[in-house]
Amino acid sequence: MKDQIFEIIKAAIDELNEELEYDELKDVTPETAIFGGESGIDSLSLVRLVVDVEAGVSEAFDTEVTLANEKAMSSRNSPYRNVAAFTDFVLACLKDAS
Amino acid sequence: MNTMLITGTRKGIGRYLVDYYIERGYRVVGCSRSAPDFEIENYQHHELDVADEKAVAKMVRAVAKEHGGIDVLLNNAGIASMNHFLLTPLRTVEQVFATNVFGTFNFCREVSKVMAKRKYGRIVNFATVAAPLKLEGEAAYAASKAAVANLTQVIAKELADFNITVNAVGPTPVATDLIRGVSDDKINDLIGLQSVKRMGEYRDISNVVDFLIQPESDFVTGQVIYLGGVS
Ligand SMILES: NC(=O)c1ccc[n+]([C@@H]2O[C@H](COP(=O)([O-])OP(=O)(O)OC[C@H]3O[C@@H](n4cnc5c(N)ncnc54)[C@H](OP(=O)(O)O)[C@@H]3O)[C@@H](O)[C@H]2O)c1
């Protein structure tokens, strides 16, 4: 399940990066920074990414998740800080939802 | 064909807006807690409570998938409570806020995610003159709609970069079930506070909505337009 979520996130980042063309987003790994640190995407792109991942999860697991989070915009604990954190967060949301 | 999502379409103003916008070429998807007693071409109905976060997410995703996006959202679903606040149970306040504020929030969030993808959207929320007039006997209702007005203004800023406008229309009394329990005397007193002293009509609302949702209104956002000259 975790691998599948990683793939959904990777695909969403790849799609986003077709437009952004950021070097650091070219090869997505668990360590890839997404949002809130020195590198990464802006809040507009984050929203697009989250929407794509929500749609991908709904399609793959037939479960609706809303990836809203209290800590979303505070960088240190943000579930969007990197791909690994985001993957764990989606997994937790999915478990909550089912 | 443009897609419009309207909440609270079983009766009242929402029901009117369904006919009005279908006639103008929209595909309309609506919702309410109970089933409607009508079927119309180009209209689909979902039965849900707007305060149910999961149900809202599911509906919005289904609509976006089937129709390729959502152009307009009208957050019309609303309930009122007319009572002296000393006699109002907390449960009533919770219900009023659940529908009016949380419901509006749920649909704004889910639909604007869909709109953001296409970088286009028009959202109209429903306020009321009861808020600026600070009407006695409507504390819970007016406070909930004041929250809707403020929500509208804040999210208008947050969604501007996505080319989504968020505005609200604030009707005066319109003859629907919502105000059926209010006495004629009270309604007349209220009308006396308006600049233009008459009951509101359905067309007064669609007239403002027409303006707010037209593509040319991309420079109009975060506005709460009260009817009848109330400000
Ligand atoms: N009429 C007025 O004088 C007036 C004045 C100012 C503002 N407004 C605003 O205009 C809007 C429409 O009012 P109206 O007069 O048309 O009211 P209405 O005749 O009472 O109709 C309300 C509609 O909303 C639906 N609804 C209520 N709670 C819901 C919920 N939790 N989830 C889903 N649907 C729900 C109802 O269907 P179900 O019962 O089947 O759910 C119904 O279709 C409201 O936001 C109201 O505050 C009205």
* Comparison of pLDDT for A75 and A1, the residue scoring more: A1
Question: Span B116-126, mean pLDDT?
Answer: 95
Q: What is the residue-wise DSSP string for chain B?
A: --EEEEES-SSHHHHHHHHHHHHTT-EEEEEESS--S---TTEEEEE--TT-HHHHHHHHHHHHHHHS---EEEE-------S-GGG--HHHHHHHHIIIIIIHHHHHHHHHHHHHHHT-EEEEEE--TTTTTT-TT-HHHHHHHHHHHHHHHHHHHHHGGGTEEEEEEE---BSSGGGTTS-HHHHHHHHHTSSS-S-B-HHHHHHHHHHHHSGGGTT--S-EEESTT--
**Contact with chain B for residue A1, Cβ under 8 A:** no
- Mean pLDDT for B79-105 is 97
pLDDT computed for residue B181 by the predictor: 87
The H or E element containing residue A18 is: helix A2-20
For residue B225, what are the CA distances in angstroms to A25, A61, B118, B169? 44, 43, 27, 5
List chain A domain ranges.
2-97
Q: Report, as an integer, the average pLDDT of B207-222.
A: 98
pLDDT at A73 (0 to 100): 62
pTM of the model: 0.93
So where are chain B's domains? 3-226
CATH fold of B3-226: Rossmann fold (3.40.50)
Q: Which of B176, B184, B191, B208 to mutate to test the pocket of ligand 1 (most atoms within 8 A of CB)?
A: B176
Whole-number pLDDT of residue B144: 98
Residue B133 scores a pLDDT above 70: yes
pLDDT at A47: 86
Q: Between A70 and B181, whose confidence is greater?
A: B181
Average pLDDT over residues B205-227: 98
- Which of A22-31, A86-95, B97-106 holds the top average pLDDT? B97-106
User: Is A62 at the interface with chain B, CB within 8 A?
Assistant: no
Give the model confidence (pLDDT) of A65-85 as tens digits.
888 777 666 556 789 999 999
Cα(B50)–Cα(B212) distance, rounded to whole angstroms?
A: 23
pLDDT over 90 percentage in chain B? 97
Ligand 1 centre from B222 Cα, in Å?
22
Fold of A2-97: 1.10.1200
Q: How confident is the model at residue B120 (pLDDT cuts 50, 70, 90)?
A: very high
Average pLDDT of the segment spanning B200-228: 98
- Whether A73 has its CB under 8 Å from any CB of chain B: the answer is no
Q: Is residue B4 scored above 90 in pLDDT?
A: yes
Q: How far apart are CA B168 and CA A59, in angstroms?
A: 34
Q: Is the ipTM of this complex over 0.85?
A: no
Q: Give the Å distance between the CA of B78 and the centre of ligand 1.
A: 4
How confident is residue A42, by pLDDT bands cut at 50, 70 and 90? confident
Nearest CA to ligand 1 atom 39: B33
The answer to whether residues B138 and B80 touch, using CB atoms and an 8 Å cutoff, is yes
Number of A/B CB contacts below 8 angstroms equals 28
Mean pLDDT of A49-70: 87
Residue A48 is nearest to which of B54, B61, B117, comparing CB atoms? Answer: B117
CB contact under 8 A, A66 and B110: yes
pLDDT above 80 (res B39): yes
